[in-house]
Structure 1
């Protein structure tokens, strides 16, 4: 399964090669693969490579949101190219949040296996998302890419706000869950697959 982020958050075409996000199953979870232009703007966050970094959304980042539509519970994944990479594999910074209700994070900075290969003008990333991080009955998806600084900050979306619904003065908001679209994990894993139960999400209701 491959997705291309070809529009800004408000539905305009992007002016560069689109960010590509691939999803494929693994016994331990979902493998998320990124191929993206490397803008190097803003500079990399000052945190340690290979570790969670709070506020990563203020930097150059690719994000994916996996939503259970019925419960408004979702997994937010943020992945960043590492400043330490020079044409070899290393570990980039990341941030994972579990949210129950719109913008209501209840668990964050979960660990993640995330590797980055960075070239001069592009970067690639691979992250293994454990099944336990996905909310029960995950069935919706959206993805985003951000880069640039100040007035040149760009916000891009796989499923943007339809242009006719953009209000005057509206700001980009990646938590507009109503614009997420269907994601059928069985198309990846097989018709007989059942999403594994998650002790992490079970703990929310205890």
Structure 2
């Protein structure tokens, strides 16, 4: 299943080659593959490649969110071209109860593009995922750019509104069974049994 991020958070076309995300079956999880322009702005976070990095959203990242819209429980996955990552488990809009979980993630930069591959374990997904959205962020200061797979429509943007990736009402339908097969059943997760 392939997705292309070709709009900004406020429904304007991007001015560069778009970010591409592919989801496919993985070993005990969902394989997420990113192919994206490399802006090198901001510079690499001061954390090791392959390690979680708090506040990664302040750097150059591609993100995917997987939501149960009935419970507002969701998984946020952030991937950086320099190899850092961040996993957040959220219960309620913007309320992370766990973050910094380990992740098998590898990224490589080739000129003005980067590719990354992450295996998202099933235990990270909340039960009953039925919506998703994906984002890309790059740039510094006034040039900071926020892009969205499912952006906010132009006619719904209010004066002075800022990008907010936790606007769950704009997420769109998503079924893991479309990737894994109609007979597939999402495994139970110990991480979500204690979610608020």
Distance 1:40 1:3 in 2: 23
For 1:115, what is the secondary structure of its paired residue?
Answer: strand
Structure 1 stretches of at least 4 aligned residues deviating more than 2 Å after TM superposition: none
Instruction: Name the residue aligned to 2:123.
Output: 132
Distance 1:30 1:81 in 2: 19
Instruction: Name the residue aligned to 2:100.
Output: 109
Instruction: Name the residue aligned to 1:52.
Output: 52
Instruction: Name the residue aligned to 1:70.
Output: 70
Q: TM-score, normalised by structure 2?
A: 0.98
Write the deviation string for residues 82-130 of structure 1: whole angstroms up to 9, x where unpaired. Answer: 1xxxxxxxxx100000000001000000000001121110000000000
| Alignment of 1:20 onto 2:11 | no
For 1:123-162, list aligned pairs within 5 A.
Answer: 123-162=114-153
Distance 1:182 1:176 in 2: 14
Deviation at 1:203, TM superposition (A): 2.8
Distance 2:164 2:144 in 1: 14
Distance 1:167 1:17 in 2: 28
Root-mean-square deviation (CA, aligned residues, Å) is 0.8
| Alignment of 1:94 onto 2:85 | yes
State the aligned residue count.
196
Deviation at 1:27, TM superposition (A): 3.5
Write the deviation string for residues 19-61 of structure 1: whole angstroms up to 9, x where unpaired. Answer: 0000001241000000000000011111111100000000000
Write the deviation string for residues 65-88 of structure 1: whole angstroms up to 9, x where unpaired. Answer: 000011000000000011xxxxxx
Distance 2:190 2:55 in 1: 26
Instruction: Name the residue aligned to 1:198.
Output: 189
For 2:179, what is the secondary structure of its paired residue?
Answer: helix
Distance 2:36 2:85 in 1: 16
